[in-house]
Structure 1
Amino acid sequence: MLSKNRIKYINSLKIKKYRQVHQSFIIEGAKSVLELLNSDFKIEFVLVTKEFQQKYSSILTRHNALLETVTAEELQGLGSFQTNDSCLAVAKTKQNDFLSPEKTEYVLVLDDVRDPGNLGTIIRVADWYGIHKIICSNDTTDIYNPKVITASKGSFLRVNVFYTDLSSYLAENAAGKNIIGAFLGGESLYDFNFSATGGFIVMGNESNGIGEEVASLVTNKITIPRVGEAESLNVGIATAVMLDNLRRQIPG
C-alpha cells in the first residue's frame, strides 16, 4: 500500500516549484516508462501494477530501478492521466546544459511557448523529423511539467532542451547561420530554400508570435500560406509544417 508521504511527494511534483526543489519529475504510461528504463535518466522509483510487472518481467529484471507494486486504484489520481492502470515512475531532472548546433545542424528555437500540450507535441514532432536540440526562452513552459512529458510520448528522452535568454543566445551563437522565423507575413515557406549549412528555426508564442527582441534577430521571415479561412495555426502543427518542408529539402 502506498504511504501518505509517497502520495504527497508524487503529487507535489505536479508543481514546478517542488520539481525544482526535489529535482525530480513524473513519467506515466507503459510506453514512456519502458523507454525511460533504457535511457540515461536516473530513476528514483517505479510504481507498477501486478499485471504490468508480470507482462514486462523480463525487461524489468534487466534494470536496477526500485519497483513498488501497487493497485490500479492507487495509481488513479497520482498523475495527469485520467486512467492509469499500468505504471508511474519518478526520475531526476537533468541540468540545464548549454546546447549549440553542429556544423550543418538545424536547431529549433521556442519563444515563450506557454501551453504544456503544445510543448510536448513540438518535442514529439522534433523527434519525428530528426531535430535533436531545442532552445527555449526562459518563459517557455517547463519541459518536466507532467502534461509536457505525457504529450511528448517518450520523445523527451531523445530531444535535448536548453532554457536561456534567446536574444543573447542567438546574438552569440548564430553568426553566419540563418535564423528562420515563423510569421503571419513573410516569404512563402513553399518558395523558401533551406540552407545546407544549418541554422535556427524559431517558433513563437501561441497568441503573440515571436517577440520583438527575437524578431529583430531573424534573418528570414517565413509564412505558411493560408488557403482557407482559419485565423491561425496551432504552434505544434505549424512546427510540423515547417520541419516537414525542411526535410523535403534536407533529409536528416
Structure 2
Amino acid sequence: MLSKAIIKLVSSLEQKKYRLENNLFVAEGNKIAEEIIKTNFPIKFLIATSEWLSKNSLNKNIEIYEVEESEIKKISFQKTPQSVIAVCNIIENKLDISEIEQNLTLALDNVQDPGNVGTIIRIADWFGIKNILASYSTADVYNPKVIQATMGAFARMKVHYILLSELLRKLKNNNNLIIYGTTLNGKNIYEQKLESKGIIVMGSEGNGISKPVLEILSEQLLIPNFSNNLQKSESLNVATATAIVCSEFRRQQK
C-alpha cells in the first residue's frame, strides 16, 4: 500500500510548480515505462502491479512499490490507467551549439497544446532529430499530457527552453545557419532545395510564427493544399505539418 506522502507527491506532479520544486515528473503506461528503462533514463521510483513486475526485468537500484491496480487508478492522471507509473528525475539538457550547427533541428514557437508538443517530440525522434528549441511559452515537456503523447520518445530527445528569437538571430548571423519556417505565404516546399543542416520553426496552433521570429527566417515554406473544393481546411494541425515538413527534408537528403 502506498503511503500518504507518496500519494501526495505523485498527485502534485501534475502541476509544473511542484515538478520544478521536486525535480520530478510522472510517466505512465507500459510502453512508456519500457522505453524509459531501455534508455536508462533516471527513475526515482516505480509504482507497478505484480503482473507488470513479473514481466519486466529492472535495475536493482530502482525503488519499487508493488500495488494493486485499484491503487494505480487512484493516483493516475489518465482516463484509462495502465499497470505502471514511473516517477522520474528531471534532467537539464545542455545546449551544444556545435550539435545545432551540424544537424537538422526543430524549433517550437509558442506551441501550447501538450498533445501537439508530445506528438512533435515523437515525430522528431522518428526522423532522427535530436534537439528541439522551444520558446518559454511552449508547453512544458514534463507535462503529463506531453509525456503521454511522446510514447517514450522524450527519453531520447533534448528539449531546450530558451529566448527563441534571440538564439535564432545569433545562429543565423554568427553561425550562418538557415532558419526555415512554415507560413501560409511561403514557397511550395516541394519545389525548394532543402539543406541537411538548419532549423525548422513551427508556430503556434492559432497564430502561427510570432512576428519577432518571423522577421529572422531565412526561408518561408508552404505545404500546398491539393483540395479542389472551394470550401477547404484553412490550415493543418501543427504536429501534422511538422511530420510533413520533416519527411520532405529527409527525403531530399537520401
- Both structures adopt the same fold (TM-score exceeding 0.5): yes
Q: Does residue 231 in structure 1 map to residue 237 in structure 2? A: no
Equivalent residue, structure 2, for 1:94: 91
Equivalent residue, structure 2, for 1:79: 76
Structure-to-structure mapping, 1:75-154, within 5 angstroms? 75-100=72-97, 101-154=99-152
* Deviation digits for residues 46-76 of structure 1 (CA, Å, limit 9, x no counterpart): 00101101122xx12x442111101111111
Aligned residues: 247
Structure with greater helix share of residues: 2
Q: Is the 8 A contact 2:109 2:204 kept in 1?
A: yes
**What is the one-letter code of the residue matched to 2:91?**
K
Q: Is the 8 A contact 2:27 2:144 kept in 1?
A: yes
Shift of residue 103, structure 1, vs aligned partner: 4.4
Q: Is the 8 A contact 2:101 2:177 kept in 1?
A: no
Identify which range, 9-18 or 223-232, moves more after superposition: 223-232
Shift of residue 232, structure 1, vs aligned partner: 0.8
Equivalent residue, structure 1, for 2:199: 200
Shift of residue 168, structure 1, vs aligned partner: 1.0
Distance 1:33 1:91 in 2: 10
Shift of residue 250, structure 1, vs aligned partner: 1.2
Distance 2:222 2:82 in 1: 43
SS at match of 1:195: coil
Equivalent residue, structure 1, for 2:33: 33
Q: Percent identity?
A: 39
Q: Which runs of 5+ in 1 are unaligned?
A: none
Distance 1:152 1:63 in 2: 26
Q: Does residue 222 in structure 1 map to residue 225 in structure 2? A: no
Shift of residue 211, structure 1, vs aligned partner: 0.2
Q: Kindly report the root-mean-square deviation, in angstroms, between the aligned alpha carbons of the 2 structures.
A: 1.3
- The TM-score normalised by the length of structure 2 is 0.93
Shift of residue 118, structure 1, vs aligned partner: 0.2
* Deviation digits for residues 142-189 of structure 1 (CA, Å, limit 9, x no counterpart): 000000000000100111110000111112223311100000111001
Q: Which runs of 5+ in 2 are unaligned?
A: none
Distance 2:119 2:95 in 1: 22
Distance 2:74 2:133 in 1: 32
Distance 1:50 1:103 in 2: 47
Distance 1:103 1:168 in 2: 16
Shift of residue 22, structure 1, vs aligned partner: 0.5
Q: Does residue 190 in structure 1 map to residue 195 in structure 2? A: no
SS at match of 1:131: coil
Go from structure 1 to structure 2 and tell me whether the alpha carbon gap of 1:172 and 1:231 turns closer, same or farther (over 3 Å shift). same
**What is the one-letter code of the residue matched to 1:164?**
I
**What is the one-letter code of the residue matched to 1:31?**
K
**What is the one-letter code of the residue matched to 1:141?**
A
Distance 2:16 2:133 in 1: 19
Distance 1:52 1:116 in 2: 28
Equivalent residue, structure 2, for 1:18: 18
**What is the one-letter code of the residue matched to 1:30?**
N
Shift of residue 247, structure 1, vs aligned partner: 0.8
Identify which range, 172-181 or 151-160, moves more after superposition: 172-181
Distance 2:160 2:221 in 1: 24
- The TM-score normalised by the length of structure 1 is 0.94
Distance 2:113 2:101 in 1: 31
Distance 2:79 2:96 in 1: 35
SS at match of 1:76: helix
Q: Is the 8 A contact 2:195 2:249 kept in 1?
A: no
Q: Is the 8 A contact 2:100 2:131 kept in 1?
A: no
Q: Is the 8 A contact 1:99 1:135 kept in 2?
A: no
**What is the one-letter code of the residue matched to 1:82?**
K
SS at match of 1:232: coil
Distance 1:132 1:180 in 2: 17
